Structure formats: structure tokens, C-alpha cells
A and B are shown apart, each in its own frame.
Chain A
């Protein structure tokens, strides 16, 4: 079972307590009515689905109930780090530090 660190509880918790909530850092367009269908489709459905480092949202549903962001390797399933929702995407150097 994966252990995931919740940045709010500041503790390692089993995967059971969490739910996955899709890719992170997807900003909702400020004025959706100005978008054409294609752009709206892209916003709603098109995701990066990378092989390797993935920025994603998780929710500590059966804990503090908060959404937060995590960096996970989609190949090894290893979490590099987790950080609070609303914080900017960590830089490559920060990720390197977290991995080591």
C-alpha cells in the first residue's frame, strides 16, 4: 500500500484514506463564455498523461478532507513530494532535492 504524506496533517497516511482527483494546475478560464467549443473541450478533457513525473491532485478524504497537490512518478508510483493546494508548481531543483 502506498503511504502518502498529507501536507495539512503533516503525517504519512495509507492510500486508503485518499482519493485521486486528476491533474493539478489546470486553471479554469476566467470567462468561459468567451471560449469557442474547441478551447472549452481542451480545458475540460485534454490532459497531459505523461510517462514519468506527474503533477496531480489528491484529496485526504478520510482525514482532514483537504485537496492538495502531489508529484508522483507514473512509472514507479513513487511520490516525490506533496504540497498544499494553491502553491505554485515546484521547480526542478526542488524536486531533485525532494527525491534525494
Chain B
């Protein structure tokens, strides 16, 4: 019998010190990988019902729908579970006129929210580029220790990590270790 395994559910890392830090799994959503000719992206945005970011690395959030442009022809979409079917239907209709690929990867990934003044410090422990230089409202695919993640900067001190569930425990372990160091002030 198949069981849905969600390794991070109900887990939380919280540091309540001068440098507060809160790390938790975010509410599950439906996730899609959209590949489409960038010249036709406006059509896809119509089917998606929200704007798609026009520049690589940009993020749009509207009505609880998150869209990150990862590459010249690739978008990562996170939407509330209740809207999954509507979006699939809309894109299926679009398929007749505009060739594209919309792949449901909801069960492949887990979202982790890293929030607080020390969020950047915790992430820096395993991400090699300058996160401080990353403007708010941008996102990119990158490497967290050895695991590939999608990192979105939602606010000055709030980040969202999208990671494959098989890597989630590893990422969580590193965040846990980093947060212990932050809690102890070392």
C-alpha cells in the first residue's frame, strides 16, 4: 500500500534570541514546471490567470500563486491545491494553439520557509553565492550544500526554499545545525 510520505510535516526550528529565526515547512501547494517559447508567454499568462515574470530570476506573486522564471523558457509555478485542476484544464485548452509543456511536480517538492533576522545567516551556511545581493522578489535555482533547490526571496528577511522531498531531510539537517550555532551565538 502506498503512503504519502512528507518528511518535514509538523517540524519546526525556532530560535528565540536576539537574532530570531523560524524555519518551517510551508503549506503544500500544487507545483508545475512550465516550458514555453518566451514569445508566447503572454498566452500562457492568460491561461495561468496571473502574470508570469518577464525577466530571468524574477518572481510574481498574485492571489496566492507564485511564479518564478528560472530560465529563458522555463517557469516554476506554485499554486493553491484547490486551483490545480482549473490551471491544468486552462493549459490543456491552450495546447491546441500554442505548443508547450506543463508538468505537475507537486509531489516531488517541499517548500520550506526560512524567516527572521538570522535567515540569511542560516542560508549562508550552505549556499555559495552572495544572498545579500539578491533583490527582494527574485528567485533562482541554486545548490544548497549538495542539493538542488529553488530559492525565492519573498521579503528582506523571509526566504522560501523549494527542494525535492528526497533531499528535504538533508537540507533540514543542515538548517538545524546552522540554527543551533545561531542559537548559541557562535
- A interface residue numbers (CB < 8 A to B): 1, 3, 8-14, 16-17, 62-66
- A14-B128, A14-B129, A64-B74 in contact; A8/B143 too (CB < 8 A)? no
B142 near A63: Cβ-Cβ < 8 Å = yes
B129 near A13: Cβ-Cβ < 8 Å = yes
Residues of B within 8 A of A (CB-CB), count: 14
The yes or no answer to B114 lying at the interface (CB within 8 A) is no
A64 near B56: Cβ-Cβ < 8 Å = yes
Interchain residue pairs with CB less than 8 A apart (30) = A1-B128, A8-B71, A8-B72, A10-B56, A10-B57, A12-B129, A12-B130, A13-B129, A14-B128, A14-B129, A16-B143, A17-B141, A17-B143, A62-B141, A62-B142, A62-B143, A62-B148, A63-B70, A63-B140, A63-B141, A64-B56, A64-B70, A64-B71, A64-B72, A64-B141, A65-B70, A65-B71, A65-B74, A66-B71, A66-B72
The complex places the Cα of A65 from the Cα of B142 at a distance, in Å, of 11
B129 near A9: Cβ-Cβ < 8 Å = no
The complex places the Cα of A71 from the Cα of B143 at a distance, in Å, of 24
Number of cross-chain contacts by CB at 8 Å: 44
Closest A residue by C-beta to B145: A16
A9 near B57: Cβ-Cβ < 8 Å = yes
**Which A residues are CB-close (under 8 A) to B143?**
14, 16-17, 62
**Which A residues are CB-close (under 8 A) to B70?**
63-65
**Which B residues are CB-close (under 8 A) to A12?**
129-130
Q: How far is the CB of B163 from chain A (nearest CB, A)?
A: 12
**Which A residues are CB-close (under 8 A) to B71?**
8, 63-66
**Which B residues are CB-close (under 8 A) to A11?**
57, 140
- Give 18 new A-B contacts, CB below 8 A, not counting A13-B142, A17-B141, A62-B141: A8-B56, A8-B71, A9-B56, A10-B56, A12-B129, A13-B129, A14-B129, A16-B128, A63-B70, A63-B140, A63-B141, A63-B142, A64-B71, A64-B74, A65-B70, A65-B71, A66-B71, A66-B72
Q: How far is the CB of A12 from chain B (nearest CB, A)?
A: 7
Q: How far is the CB of A4 from chain B (nearest CB, A)?
A: 10
Cβ proximity bits B125-152 to A, threshold 8 Å, 1 near / 0 not: 0001110000000001111000010000
The complex places the Cα of A63 from the Cα of B56 at a distance, in Å, of 10
The complex places the Cα of A65 from the Cα of B141 at a distance, in Å, of 9
Q: How far is the CB of A63 from chain B (nearest CB, A)?
A: 5
The complex places the Cα of A85 from the Cα of B175 at a distance, in Å, of 37
**Which B residues are CB-close (under 8 A) to A66?**
71-72
The complex places the Cα of A14 from the Cα of B72 at a distance, in Å, of 20
Q: How far is the CB of A35 from chain B (nearest CB, A)?
A: 33
